[in-house]
Every structure is written in C-alpha cells, then in structure tokens.
Amino acid sequence: MKIYLVGGAIRDDLLNIKVTDKDWVVVGSNINLMLKLGFKLVGKDFPVFLHPKTHEEYALARTEYKFGHGYKGFKYCASSKVTLKEDLLRRDLTINAIAKDELGNFYDPYNGLQDIKNRLLKHVSSSFQDDPLRVLRVARFAAKLKYLNFRIDDNTLKLMKIMSHSGELSYLKPERIWKETYNALQSTHPQVFFKVLKKCNALSIIFPEINALYGIPAPLKWHPEIDTGIHTMLTLKIISKLTNNVSTRFATLCHDIGKGLTPKKLWPRHPGHGEAGIPLIKKLCDRLKIPSNFKKISILAARIHDIIHNIYNQKPEDILNIYNIIDAWRKPERVQQMAFISEADARGRLTLESIEYKQGKYFINMYKYISKLNIKNILNNNNLKGYNINKKIQSERIKLIKYFLKMEN
C-alpha cells in the first residue's frame, strides 16, 4: 500500500497559494484494510475515508467510465490493482493531476508541472468531456488564477464548447452550479468566470438572464462600451476591487438584468429596467437555489442603484425612503453594500473606471448622520402610540436629512 498527496494541495503550494485542504490517494489497498487501519468510510459514490487523527480525506485509487447523464452517470472501479497513473488519468486538468510521495518526489505523468510553469489550464484526456461540471470548474480556475496569468488551452476550450452543445449541462444539479459560482465570485477576478462561460457557449444555458444582456445597447453618452453584457462584466470587475463580500458581488452581477427585457423600440434607453429585473432575479435565484439573502440584496440593488447616482437632486423624503426600502435601521451594512454597487455601476464603463464616485460616500455619510437620532428619547419624552411613534421617528429623520443637506451645501 502506498499513499500520495494529490491535486489542489500540490498545485497551490507550487503557486505559493495557501493550502487549506489536503487530499490523498491510496494505491494498493481496499476497504477492509483501510477500516482495519482505523480510517472512517464516508464516501457514498466511491470509497473515501477520513484519517483517524488528521481527518483529511483519503480515497482509494480508482478508474471511472461514463454510462449515463450528469454527475451520477459514472461507474467506478476502486480495485487494489488500479495504478496511480490510471487514477490521475481520470482527473480534470493536468495541474490537478500531480502526485507526491512521502519523500517529496513528484509523480507527474501528464506534464502538470510544466503546465504550471507555462500558466496553462489543460485537460488531462478526452474523458474530460464526460463530466459537464468541468466546464464550470475550468471557468472557476481561470477566474481564481487570472492574477497569475493562467490561460485555457485552445483544445480544452474546444472540448468545453462541445460539452456546452451536447446538452449535458442541463443535467447539472443547481447546488453544484451554485457552489462553483460562489467560489468564482470569491476570486480576485470573478468576471473571468462568466466571460469563459460566454466564450464556450455555456452562459446561455447556465445563466440565460446574464447572457441575454449581450448585444443590448445603452446610451453612448453614459455607456461608452454600449453593450450591456460588457458593462455587466466591467461592474463585476470594479466591485471585486471594492469588497470581498460575495452577496454584494452577486447583486452587482444582477443590477441591470432587467435591460434584457426592454422592447427594441425603446433602445438604447431602458426606462424602468430596475423593477423589470426583479422577477428575473427571483427566477434565477430560485432555479439555482441561491440563498435568500443574496436574492434580497440583488432585488434591492436593481431597484435603487440608479437613484443613488442622482442622490444630490433627491428630496429629503425620497432619500429617507431609500434607507427605509433597504431596511437600513436594522441592517446598516446594506448602506455600504448599495453604495458600492452603485459605484461599481458608475465606474464599470469604458474610460470611466477611475472616476471618483462621490455619491456613494455622500449616501454613507448621510446615513451616519441620521443614525445619531436617539429613538429611546422619542419614546420616553412623547406620549405616542402605534402609528404615531413611527410617524414621529420619520419626521425627525427628515429633519436630520435637511440639516445634513444644508451643511453639505
């Protein structure tokens, strides 16, 4: 029996990326022997064990072949006769098909070490196309490793296009799609994930609401890039520099989604696109089983991002209404989220990436000023009940907004 470190831990260590998880492959063993050694069997589809002390995952070397659709359409063989080379052959990318023994010696039958040096995302074998999830995985790796100048091999991209046209992507479970998307949104270049999906024709299948934005024009005066799909990717690029919060990044992705529904006769204008996008956001989030807080923030962003652009010309009552809509009094973090999303929208335009977005800071500072209102004093010093309590609070907040506006002007 021989044990090797495999996959992402080796890749990340070679790239000076912090290693968070280690996966091991066991060659020349079987289930009974692993159990006798104290390992705990946890794999449902194939033999995976937890180490009795480190609790790291150890999998028996295995081969696999496809017999049906989707992730479940595989048969596995985890015989003690399966070699390390055979196990590595079934993996997705060469940079993930490297093993290392206990002495630190590399086993690299598919030239993954060279591809790491060449910054290349390349499939191990033609069996790559058997698992549709790999289209999303490669797109996610492209986003994760963009800062190191990794690119996708041309032949791998061709396979991804073939997979997109095969119909296999429709068999992916929503949870698996969202997991890859969530991880991509955490990366330094989340827009690359969606760009790759667009390039291999998978975006129209996985995210049709986002794909529909490509080719939709916007006014040249405000959008030098013209195309709403391009604008959406630019906003995602900007928001990733402003915040690491994944729900904020996702909301930015969805902020203009309603423009895909604008009748052509109204182009390049998109009146009411914020409200129009709300049903699409709900549909997208429900389909992929995206967490409710992501859906809520995305709906709020679609509804109010344009209003913040024009914050200097808003009436005090309308400004207060924005804070009320986002429930800023109970969830103050949303004020900064909305400011960041609006800033990303304003700067996510060709030639405008470096502009100073003063409206966002203005929106945040005004909220901080209004938040000084002492609600307890209002309740203690006024004989108010029910509706009149809220009316008084709103009245006092409007007064503070007016004071703030005077100070700023």
Q: What is the pLDDT of residue 375?
A: 86
C-alpha distances in angstroms, 377 versus 118, 327, 384, 388, 397? Answer: 66, 21, 12, 15, 14
User: Number of folded domains in the chain?
Assistant: 2
Provide the pLDDT confidence category of residue 10 given band limits of 50, 70 and 90: very high
Q: What is the pLDDT of residue 382?
A: 65
Q: What is the pLDDT of residue 72?
A: 62
Residue bearing the bigger pLDDT, 278 or 79? 278
Closest CA to 144 of 341, 11, 24: 11
Residue bearing the bigger pLDDT, 110 or 7? 110
CATH of the domain at 100: 3.30.460.10
pLDDT in tens, 229-264: 999 999 999 999 999 999 999 999 999 999 999 999
Q: Could you say which DSSP state residue 188 is in?
A: S
**Per the domain annotation, does 8 fall within a domain?**
yes
Q: Is the pLDDT of residue 30 over 70?
A: yes
Q: What is the pLDDT of residue 70?
A: 59
Q: What is the pLDDT of residue 67?
A: 66
**Per the domain annotation, does 59 fall within a domain?**
yes
**Per the domain annotation, does 227 fall within a domain?**
no
Q: Is the pLDDT of residue 74 over 80?
A: no
Closest CA to 172 of 209, 133, 205, 199: 133
Q: Is the pLDDT of residue 152 over 70?
A: yes
Q: Is the pLDDT of residue 283 over 70?
A: yes
0.75 exceeded by pTM:
yes
Q: What is the pLDDT of residue 71?
A: 60
Among 118, 149, 184, the domain-final residue is 118
**Per the domain annotation, does 403 fall within a domain?**
yes
**Per the domain annotation, does 223 fall within a domain?**
no
> What integer best gives the mean pLDDT of the chain?
94
Q: Is the pLDDT of residue 385 over 80?
A: no
**Per the domain annotation, does 204 fall within a domain?**
no
Which DSSP string corresponds to 78-101?
--TT--HHHHHHTSSBGGG--EE-
Q: Is the separation of the CB atoms in 142 and 192 below 8 Å?
A: yes
Closest CA to 224 of 344, 353, 310: 353
Q: Across residues 163-170, what is the average pLDDT? A: 95
**Per the domain annotation, does 18 fall within a domain?**
yes
Q: What are phi and psi of 301, to 5 degrees?
A: -65, -45
Number of CB atoms found within 10 A of residue 334's CB: 20
Q: Across residues 265-285, what is the average pLDDT? A: 97
Among 88, 118, 148, the domain-final residue is 118
Q: Across residues 149-175, what is the average pLDDT? A: 96
Provide the pLDDT confidence category of residue 290 given band limits of 50, 70 and 90: very high
Q: What is the pLDDT of residue 374?
A: 87
Domain that holds residue 62: 1-118
Among 118, 146, 176, the domain-final residue is 118
pLDDT in tens, 300-321: 999 999 999 999 999 999 999 9
Q: Across residues 112-118, what is the average pLDDT? A: 98
**Per the domain annotation, does 138 fall within a domain?**
no
Number of CB atoms found within 10 A of residue 122's CB: 23
Q: Across residues 167-195, what is the average pLDDT? A: 97
Q: Across residues 59-73, what is the average pLDDT? A: 76
